[in-house]
Amino acid sequence: MPFYSKSQLLPKLEELNVRLDKKRGQCYLVDENIANYIIKEVEINENKDIILEIGSGLGTLSDSLVRSGRRVYLIDNDEKITKFLYTHLKSKYNVKLIDLSSDSIDFEQFSDVKVIIINGDAIKVPFPVVTKIVGNIPYQISAPLIFKIIDSWDINKLKKCILMIQDEFANRLIAKVNSKNYSRISAAVGLYLNIKKIKMVPSSCFFPKPRVTSVIIELTAKNSLSSDSPENIFRKDYLSFLRGVFPFKNKSLRNAISFFLKNDENAANQFKYFKEIIKNPESYLFINKKLRRFSPQQLFNIMLYGSTGKSDILQEFKLDEL
């Protein structure tokens, strides 16, 4: 351990009676250089960092994280794998294995435990407060995971995330306004996070080989996540606004908002000032533009108006048109 090469990994999987399943996002890293590269990029602050690894597998990355970090949380939803990891780490460290299907738990009770292995679905289990997040993440759940990371990002604690994702998906995260890839997730990431592609990784570095090229990305927080900014205070509202309007990204802003309010009763109450924008003759400058032509910041300002009636969007769009 760790199982850097295919010839070390295969007999171990056989012994554990585990068959890796690509459909469950089980593409294991079998390239030592890439594993080391990821660990280097995490820049572990010895004995200070509290780290969450998503999709720990047999521990190719976990071993190094545990060695240097102060406390490490490992999540995987394959029971055979988490049990193995528990047995493996227990001989050296204070380890706790918890089976978690509920959506609430007080992680503070484990504050003197070095490694907490969570057997559960990373989308469902609550994230502990950590300083770094790492993961060669299952591609099937990349989008909900990124939304969850944005939603739960604690600006005072979480310094950065180093994630291995599908390259095509990375292109959606960084997509520019009005481009083909511009989507709900680009508008969410674009407002809150800095994203850097730091290394392309060919499929030959995994077993089994995924059909796609992967990339290691780094996510850090923008100032908009600092606690007193409106972007931060209205974070959940912005994310639910995006969820409601982006299915209509090729429609006009007017229609996207109308569909959103029609489809969702709560939204009509929560964003009650939208009706005024739609009625206001001055808004003709932008209300008929297609939704996908609005930048994340513009969408946020529109959302803020809908929610509070307080935003200078009419002014802003007049200037924008000049």
Judge contact between 33 and 40, C-beta under 8 A. Answer: no
Q: DSSP string spanning 140-186?
A: GGHHHHHHHHHHH--TTT--EEEEEEEHHHHHHHTPPTTSTT--HHH
Judge contact between 117 and 77, C-beta under 8 A. Answer: no
Q: How far is the CB of 245 from ligand SAH (least distance, A)?
A: 27
Q: Which is nearer to ligand SAH, 28 or 238 (CB)?
A: 28
Q: Which is nearer to ligand SAH, 20 or 299 (CB)?
A: 20
Judged by CB under 6 A, the chain residues 89 through 148 that form the site for ligand SAH are: 121-123, 136, 138, 141
Q: How far is the CB of 52 from ligand SAH (least distance, A)?
A: 11
Judge contact between 93 and 59, C-beta under 8 A. Answer: no
Judge contact between 155 and 232, C-beta under 8 A. Answer: yes
- Please give the angle made by the CA atoms of 119, 121 and 126, to the nearest 5 degrees: 90
Residue reference for tokens 């959103």: 260
Q: How far apart are alpha carbons 108 and 303 in whole angstroms? A: 36
Q: How far is the CB of 14 from ligand SAH (least distance, A)?
A: 16
**Residue from the set 13, 31, 52, 60 that interacts with ligand SAH by CB under 6 A:** 60
Q: Which is nearer to ligand SAH, 200 or 233 (CB)?
A: 200
Q: How far is the CB of 187 from ligand SAH (least distance, A)?
A: 24
Q: How far is the CB of 31 from ligand SAH (least distance, A)?
A: 10
Q: Which is nearer to ligand SAH, 4 or 234 (CB)?
A: 4
For residue 68, what are the contacts with CB-CB under 8 A and spacing of at least 6? 44, 46, 47, 49
57 belongs to the binding site for ligand SAH (CB under 6 A): yes
**Which residues, in sequence order, are bridge partners of residue 304?**
none
**Residue from the set 56, 183, 283, 311 that interacts with ligand SAH by CB under 6 A:** 56
Counting residues that bind ligand SAH (by CB under 6 A) gives 22
Q: Which is nearer to ligand SAH, 216 or 239 (CB)?
A: 216
Name the residues that contact ligand SAH, by CB under 6 A. Answer: 24-29, 55-57, 60-61, 75-78, 81, 121-123, 136, 138, 141
